[in-house]
Amino acid sequence: MRTLVKVLLTSSLLSFQYAISSEENLEGNWIGASNPETIINLSIKDNNFIAHEIDFSTNQMKDEVLFTVNLSKNQAQSSDAKSELVLVEADTVIGADGRILYRDYKNKNKKMMCMSDWSSQVPRSMLKRLNELRRTATKHCLKCNTDACEMKVWAEGNEKEALLCKRIFCQPIETIRKNIFGEIDKFPSGKNTALFHYSINEDGEIKDIKVQEIIGSMNKKQANLYLSLMLKSHKYKELIIENQKFGITNLRGVINWKLDKR
């Protein structure tokens, strides 16, 4: 029988519970959803998962411990702070402080995490040569049929390849946040974290948003509408292969936000 740790998060508007299993195996390589993103290895020692950064250039593990994760205590701890865990799954870990870890090779739907905040976009250093990079990397990063493409989901140990493909093909070139003042009464105030699936269509627009998990003051329907409105202005460079436009279908994201209507 699994030992379940109940995570109780309380705000002035909402109380809810989320069950976390202390038997979840978190060992292996992860990506930390920072800006820029980092490659992190979790190994187990004395009932704790120990986090070390893997150097992007050398692929070597650094000596310094970044943080530890203790599932039985339901917390992550660094040298200067502790944070409760609000979600632990085989492919995603989220802390109450907003820290996000993910690993696509464990995602059962074979989706690639291509969005973890509102503002990340193609680095300016890559923007001018993005067409050239795409021509070189299309077969390396994508699996395409007659009318759509999927991002290749890389096996463990290939996180550097995954991040390079992500920057070239599924990061936006514009991330203007839409003003939803006229829609604001449709949503409750409070903090939220949403895990969702989405696609990029042939015109470089986000489509097919579908919330998979919502933790916070909104329900799935509200979160779906909120994300659809907020991400409507995101713009991606059109994917053109041999003079034909393609969309990208197997994408997932996780976004934190706080809405205060006062």
Tell me 172's DSSP state.
Answer: -
User: Where do the structural domains in the chain lie, given as residue ranges?
Assistant: 4-106, 112-259
At residue 124, the pLDDT reads 85
pLDDT value for 12: 30
Predicted local confidence at residue 261, as pLDDT: 76
CATH architecture type of domain 4-106: Beta Barrel (2.40)
Bridge pairing between strands 4-10 and 75-77: unpaired
Query: What is the token pair recorded at 192?
Result: 């939220």
34 Cβ contact list (under 8 Å, min separation 6): none
Tell me what pLDDT residue 184 has.
85
Cα–Cα dist 191/168, whole Å: 31
Per residue in 181-235, pLDDT (tens digit) is: 778 889 999 999 999 999 999 999 999 999 999 999 999 999 999 999 999 989 9
Size of the chain in residues? 262
Residues of the chain where predicted confidence (pLDDT) is lower than 50: 1-20
